[in-house]
Amino acid sequence: MALPPFTSQLIADVGISLGDEGKGRLVYEIAAELRESTKRRDAVALVLKVNGGANSGHTAGGLKLNLLPAGVIDSDVATLAIGAGVVADPRKFWWELEPLERRGYQVFERLLIDERTLLADVSHRLLDLAWEDYRSHVLGEPPRGSTGRGITPAYSDEVNQWPIYYDDFRGSRDNFVKKFRVRLTRASRIIKDICQVIPEHWDNFFDRLTLAETRANQAAIDAGIFQKEDFDFCQFRSKESFFLDNDKVIETYWRAGQRLLPRIGDVREAVLTALNRGQYVIGEFGQSYWLDKRHGFSPNVTASHTYTPEFFQSAGIPCQPVHTVGCCKAYDTKVGTHVFLTQMDDLHPLGKLLRELEYGTSTGRQRMVGWFDAVEKGDALRYGGYQDLVINKLDALTHRGAWQGELLVCTGYCARDGKMTAGVPRDDQVRKDLQPVFAKLPGWSEDIAGITSFARLPKNAQRYVAFMMKSILDVATRGGSSSVPVPNLRYIGTGPDPAQIIRDVPATRDLLKLAE
Ligand code: IMP
């Protein structure tokens, strides 16, 4: 039984937990569904990267992507757009794009970078490391857990009214040089005088960046697409500590930007044109509800807005109805320095298996793993609002080897005084002292990898899914005392490949009966 069609030509693909939910794979599932229902190959005109930058890591069809939208793998999507709300390093476009082109994906010709997309550069990456260094070494606080991709410093330049836009690549070189030189000098001064970084750490920053990018691009180096030297950040260090070889940085970025000139344009017009033609636009979000700079778990958040309202800001179009698909996994992961109330014990047999699957797409960091936290998802639904939900990686929970136990779902938090909280407390000091309240559910041992029909799932897997939905709704509605628009469960992921997905989940009112 098919679920109701999408309710708007704008479809937002957002995360409802802490990132890494598998939003990338949704893009081609949604696009395929739209093609089928409209019988139009060109149903999806644009996939728009809405927010963030190279901090987001999306895996789609076996490709690991940071800056490019996952629409890359779908050749029927005519335009891969980068919104004005994105902070993008032009070198990174090339590092991602060229290996994909060699593999036969057409990327460059489909790319459309908005004129107002913000230029992120090496100074932001150095500032990211310097501010983390300042937190640890000057303030004695834990690091924020940044991906080190320069995201917060890049947005700071926007907020502080020092933006350099992709449009600046179309202007005079002198103007670009002037703006960029001021930026680089300002960054050096902040790193030296405000962050009080010591010279050894400064030198070490360049080694860390070199190592990270060399590792991330090793396959392309091995294939001869790039030289190892292309990822050598030490080339930008000046002889004098805390200063950069400004001329070299500026020339490198100017060249990378000039090569992108044919792809810089007006995303606002492209989106409006698509809507006028009756086509769909999928907004692919980075990060997730709880990493939103305003409503997330500050300071362990990213520097952008990570859910639906940002669609309009980044595309530069009027607010209008949008169909939002909120994505999570059948268990939880966190990366960085987060409070993780449902974290599994290191020795837990399921935890061990899940950790083998969970490495950061952007950074290669090991993710922490834990039980499904319905409180976080319920509040994300209550305040974020989704027409549909998606649960990925259900197959990862199947019994195997030493893992034969019950599954836990966190349905509430208990505070020190023994009282249950209403949703997620916004005060992190309060939150970190809470105890999760778990429901226990039986697991299953039947292999469900690649199952495409809900009816073929073992009863215990069906019940687990139904219980997750019920728990999310219980939290979102505060136990039924207030109402929220009830989402359907549009897809359940049973494996990473496009064919490994269930698309015939019963409507929520029927699904919930299984949880009783
Ligand atoms: P930043 O965006 O690099 O500044 O990192 C801020 C916080 O967001 C850190 O806790 C990161 O681990 C987290 N973060 C940023 N991007 C992602 C992502 O794509 N997946 C999961 N966590 C992310």
Residue 453 scores a pLDDT above 90: yes
Q: How far apart are the first and last CA of the chain?
A: 22
- Asked if 20 is an active-site residue, the reply is yes
> Which tens digits make up the pLDDT trace of 301-358?
999 999 999 999 999 999 999 999 999 999 999 987 899 999 999 899 999 999 999 9
Residues having CB within 6 Å of any atom of ligand 1: 19-20, 55-57, 145-147, 149, 151-152, 286-287, 291, 300-303, 335-336
Nearest atom in ligand 1 to 300's CA: 10
Please give, one letter per residue, the 3-state secondary structure of 341-370.
Answer: CCECCCCCHHHHHHHHHCECCCCCCECEEE
Residues in the chain: 516
Residue 145 scores a pLDDT above 90: no
Residue 197 scores a pLDDT above 90: yes
Residue 434 scores a pLDDT above 70: yes
Residue 61 scores a pLDDT above 80: no
- Asked if 42 is an active-site residue, the reply is no
> Which tens digits make up the pLDDT trace of 353-371?
999 999 877 677 899 999 9
Residue 143 scores a pLDDT above 90: no
pTM for this predicted structure: 0.96
77-81, 237-241, 458-462: range with lowest mean pLDDT = 237-241
> Which tens digits make up the pLDDT trace of 270-306?
999 999 999 999 999 999 999 999 999 999 999 999 9
How confident is the model at residue 72, as a pLDDT? 95
Mean pLDDT of 211-229: 94
- Among the listed residues 13, 42, 58, 305, the single catalytic one is 58
Cα 76 to middle of ligand 1, angstroms: 30
Cα 188 to middle of ligand 1, angstroms: 24
- H helix or E strand, kind and range, residue 156: helix 151-159
How confident is the model at residue 62, as a pLDDT? 79
- E strands within 141-279? 264-265
Q: Percent of the chain beyond pLDDT 90?
A: 91
How confident is the model at residue 1, as a pLDDT? 61
- H helix or E strand, kind and range, residue 374: helix 374-384
